[in-house]
Every structure is written in C-alpha cells, then in structure tokens.
Structure 1
C-alpha cells in the first residue's frame, strides 16, 4: 500500500514539474513572439532606395538577392536619379527612404540650405592595401615617381573639385610635403578619359576608381601609386542617407531594413576582406547589379570598404566639410550632431550583435 501511494505521489510530482516547465516555456515563447523586434512585419512594407548600381551599394544588393529584406517582410525598390540635386529633396520629403550620398561641397550646401537628411551608416571607404579609389601613376613613370614627394611638378587628374576626390588629393599632397602650387591640378570628370589621357601621356597621375585601376594595370597603362590609406586612412567616401520620416514614423521598418543591410555588408566583408569561399554567390550578385559584369575580374579588383558594424568615420566627414569651407565652397553651417545619426545602427547592433574581425 505504501509503495502504491509512493508511486501516485511521484506521478503527481512529475506531472506538476512537466506542466510547470511547459507553462514556463510557453510563456517565454509568447514573450518572444510579442517583443522580438526582428520578427517579420505583419504587413509587407515597401522601402525605396536611391541607388545607381555603384559597387558601394553592395549591402543593398546582397540583402535583396539573399532574401534578408524578404525575411522581415520588406519589399525594396531601387530608384535612380540624375544627380544629388534631384535625389536629396526626394529623400528629405520621404519619397525615397534610403539613398547613397558622396561627400561634396554641393551635397553639404544642399543640407545647409534646409534639405533634411541623415547620415545613418557607412557606404564606402578605402581598404588598406587594395583600395577601390586611389592614385595611379603612368606606367612609363613608375620608376621615376615612387614616393609622395616625387609628384612635385607633375600633372595630376582629379574628377571633381571641392568633393571627396579633391579632399583625398589634398591629403596626399600634404602627406608628401608638396604644396598645391607645386603640381598641376587637372580637372577631368570622366574616369575613362583619365585612362585615355594617361595612355596619350597628357597626365602623369590620376585619382582613379575600379575596375579601371585593374584594367589599366592589365593593359600596361598605369600602376597603383602606393596606398590611399597612407594619407587618408579613414576617408569617408560615401554614406547611407535616411529620410527623417523613415527613421521616425517608420522606425519598425527602418530597424529591420538596417538589420538586413548589415547582414548583406557582413557577407560582402567575409568574401572580399576575409577571403571566405561562399561558392561565388556574392561575386555573382555584385556582377548582376553593377557595371562590372566580369566575375573573374571581381577576384582581382580592389573593392569598396564597407563597415560590417555600420559606423561611419564621423570626424573625417567633419574634416571634409571644413576643407570645402576653407576653399570658400560652403555657404552656411551644419549641425553634425543632428545630421550624423548612428542611433539606428546602434539599435540594430544590440539586436544582431557586433561583427568581430
């Protein structure tokens, strides 16, 4: 009888323990469902991205093609604009949610004149040793121009004045102890024309971009000239811009968008910086979305640096602004505490974790 009672008691205890565990587990699952900020949106949300197929848009392309946006029930649409004068007002008005912005005096002037956009993540910087955006020297001068002071007296082509190209050019001269008066600044807006001018020996150096850097080297027209991170180690070339409406009125969408974007950037970083073998998927995505269609050439070119944790080089953005202002190209002041908004990146990093090198 005692043995029978003991078995009944143990059965009841076991039942209560199991029931309690199931209740606790059910409660935890319910809490996760209710509070998980990265669960898919209840309704599909459209996000418009102003992107023109530049390599720095890698995070957008990879997140789209690998289904990261779709996981959060986000449908992205790419829109193109002729120039920033058309694009920035659309972002400020919320007609475009996200865009890419390249540093220039005209870009900063638009913001100073009341166009309200925010810098919300990194969209391009140089990688040490293999920069996407760097100087090249004419092939027949490669043994003559071997160090920065050697550029004195040379003709140097730059694509824009009072923009990030001009800023990097100026940083290179300062690094070499060369005055702007001691070189000839050649304004040449078309990068392909730079390569032609190099071949015709009309210029000696040029601030060039990929894939023209690699193509020119393969053709024996020019060689990379040292490394851009020697003199501009944290040059912020491009930023992800966000509409204030997107960041506030559609914050739930914005958080998921940024999570997907950073996941795409991390895949890109894994392949192009860490050398991870993903079976060619990321290279194929880049070839599909950009002007460089040759997948084999993607294995040779220097690629845009993209921060897998999203942060931009804030101090360098301010330094570029000051450079343009000192040149008399800026009208008005900017409140960078308002314009640079890393809160979305920080919120997402708390959710998906920090990328460790």
Structure 2
C-alpha cells in the first residue's frame, strides 16, 4: 500500500512540474496563450479617440486583423479637435480609450480634476532611428556635425512646455549649450518648418516623420544625429483609459488590452524584426494614417511601441518636473494613481510576455 501511494504521489508531482515547465517555456518563447481569455458573452463597444496618427498602430492592426472581434469587442474611432475636448470625454466615460501627448496643459487638466489613467505606451523613439528628432538645414549639414555646433543657431520647436520643449532642453544639456546661446523659434506647424528651412529662416528643427524622410529626399534638411543620444526613454505619447472603463467594464478592458498588445506585437515584428507578412501591416498603416505611400513606410523612422505595453514612468515624471520648473504647472499630481499598469499586467498574464 505504501509503495502504491508513493507511486501516485510521484506521478502527480511529475505532472505538476511538467505543466509548470511547459507554461514557463511558452512565456519565454513569447507565444500568446489566448485560450484562457474567452470572448465576451455579448458584443461590447469600445470608443477610441484617435486621429489617424502612426502611434495608433496597435488599434488599427488589432481592428483590421480581427483581434478585437475575437473577444467580441466592437471598436469605434472618434475624433476631437483638441485635448481640451477629448480629456473630459475620457474622464466622463463617453470615450473609453484615447491617446495623450505630454504637455504642461495636459498635466494641468488632470491636476484640476480631469480623471484619466495612463495605461500603456503609445509612442517613444527607437534607438538610432527616431521618428521625432532634430533635422539640420541641408546647406549646413557639413558644418553641423556634433551637438556643440548648435550654439548660436535658430532652432524651431512646435510646442512650448510640451514634450517637444522637453526634448529640446535635453539636447541642449547634452550639447553643453545654454538656452541663452541659441534662439528658440516657436513654430506650431511641422510643414511650416520645412518651408522655413527652404527659406533659410531657421537652422534646425525638431521634426516628425514622415516629414523627416520627405525633407531628406527633397534635400531640404538632413537628420541631425538622433534624439535617443540624449533622451533615450522619452515618453512621447501614452494610451489613456477612462476610470469607468477600467473598473466598471474591467472584463472588456482586459480583452481590449490583450487585443491592443497583439496588434502592437505584429507592428513590432514587421518594423523592428523585419518579419515578412507580405505587406499586410504596412497596408493597414497606409489605410489608417496620412502616410499613404506604402514604399515610404520602409524608409521612415517609425514610432516605437512597447510590445509589452509598459511606459517609461520615470521619464513621464521628469517631463512634469521640467514643466513645473518652468512655472507652467498649477497643482500637484499623484503619479502612483495616474500611471496604472495593472491592465497591461493582467493582459500579459493571459497572453504571455513578448521576448525580443
């Protein structure tokens, strides 16, 4: 009898260990285990505030490849004129998910009672091929070869006390050049920056794709080194979530995040790992964004998106402190409350961690 019991215990222990090893192997390989995430019993609509920016790739791919539909989620895209209109709609639960770009006015809205959460990454620069970086006028490219060369130059930036201004300031610190030794030119329209370059009104500009690549192809400007040299973890945009969506509709929110991350992973596979999908993802991006030229998608520096969803939390706080030091912030923020990675973590438990 004792031998029989020992045999049973041994078999059970073996099965438990084997199961754990199989699970660990699946996580290490980055394989998605979506079997445990069943579809919703009834179709649920999720409203996303998105304006066709390239950083919305995870939304577009998940929609067009049917990942949302697999979980019985119907997504609807809504557009707003500006964040002043969008943020209250997110806080009220009229919009479930949105994209937010760091700025003093953005943080001030939250400090004054607009209740939203930062729930996932929606845009950062990729090492060595930033989609948001400085360009130098083409006729100056030979004399502007290193950061200290910016001294005495006219530099265009699209926003004051926004993430653009923060990156500009980080570049100057890296260059060892003070703000008094350059001319800050506020120019809100990126297209106008290209025209100003052509007219030799400015020397450098903090420019964005696809205008970076288009300007290079037209010999208007050239990349000036790369923003990841001095701001390697700049959090440019975040996915925002309505508190109502995260609490009252948690079962929907978890599935939404799982689908979103699956879309981001497809994007990452194509643009970071150069996996061949016969152009499906590029076609989706061209369909949903202003960059319609599919061939140009192979040239541009694309938006970085974390396939595991996490944001650079420390950098978000550093940006806030920069705005605060400039006197542009009214009120204090509780980042432990505002930054909420619990939805990402819950989704990762279900679909597995992406391994590079």
Q: TM-score w.r.t. structure 1 length?
A: 0.90
> What corresponds to 1:176 in structure 2?
175
> What corresponds to 1:185 in structure 2?
184
> What corresponds to 1:12 in structure 2?
none
Q: C-alpha distance in 2, partners of 1:278/1:136? A: 32
Name the SS for the 2:120 alignment partner. Answer: strand
Q: For the Cα contact (< 8 Å) 1:126–1:133, is it kept in 2?
A: yes
Q: C-alpha distance in 2, partners of 1:80/1:196? A: 28
> What corresponds to 1:130 in structure 2?
129
Superposed CA RMSD in Å reads: 0.9
Q: C-alpha distance in 2, partners of 1:353/1:38? A: 12
Q: How many residues align?
A: 323
Q: C-alpha distance in 1, partners of 2:187/2:226? A: 21
Name the SS for the 1:120 alignment partner. Answer: strand
Q: C-alpha distance in 1, partners of 2:312/2:224? A: 24
Q: C-alpha distance in 1, partners of 2:249/2:37? A: 14
Q: For the Cα contact (< 8 Å) 1:122–1:239, is it kept in 2?
A: yes
How far did 1:36 drift? Answer: 6.6
> What corresponds to 1:320 in structure 2?
319
1:62-88 per-residue CA deviation (whole Å, 9 max, x = no partner) reads 000000000000000000000000000
1:106-138 per-residue CA deviation (whole Å, 9 max, x = no partner) reads 000000000000000000000011111000000
Q: C-alpha distance in 2, partners of 1:303/1:170? A: 23
> What corresponds to 2:10 in structure 1?
none
Q: C-alpha distance in 2, partners of 1:38/1:200? A: 56
Cα gap change, 1:322 to 1:292, in 2 (>3 Å):
same
> What corresponds to 1:195 in structure 2?
194
> What corresponds to 2:119 in structure 1?
120
> What corresponds to 1:218 in structure 2?
217
Q: Which protein shows a greater Rg?
A: 1
> What corresponds to 2:157 in structure 1?
158
Q: For the Cα contact (< 8 Å) 1:37–1:252, is it kept in 2?
A: no
> What corresponds to 2:279 in structure 1?
280
Q: For the Cα contact (< 8 Å) 1:69–1:257, is it kept in 2?
A: yes
Q: C-alpha distance in 2, partners of 1:334/1:292? A: 36
Structure 1 residue ranges, 4+ long, deviating more than 6 angstroms after superposition:
none
Name the SS for the 1:146 alignment partner. Answer: coil
> What corresponds to 1:298 in structure 2?
297
Q: C-alpha distance in 1, partners of 2:202/2:276? A: 39
List gaps (5 residues or longer) in structure 2.
1-33
Q: C-alpha distance in 1, partners of 2:237/2:120? A: 9
Q: For the Cα contact (< 8 Å) 1:50–1:100, is it kept in 2?
A: yes
> What corresponds to 2:257 in structure 1?
258
> What corresponds to 2:95 in structure 1?
96
> What corresponds to 2:29 in structure 1?
none
List gaps (5 residues or longer) in structure 1.
1-34
> What corresponds to 1:307 in structure 2?
306
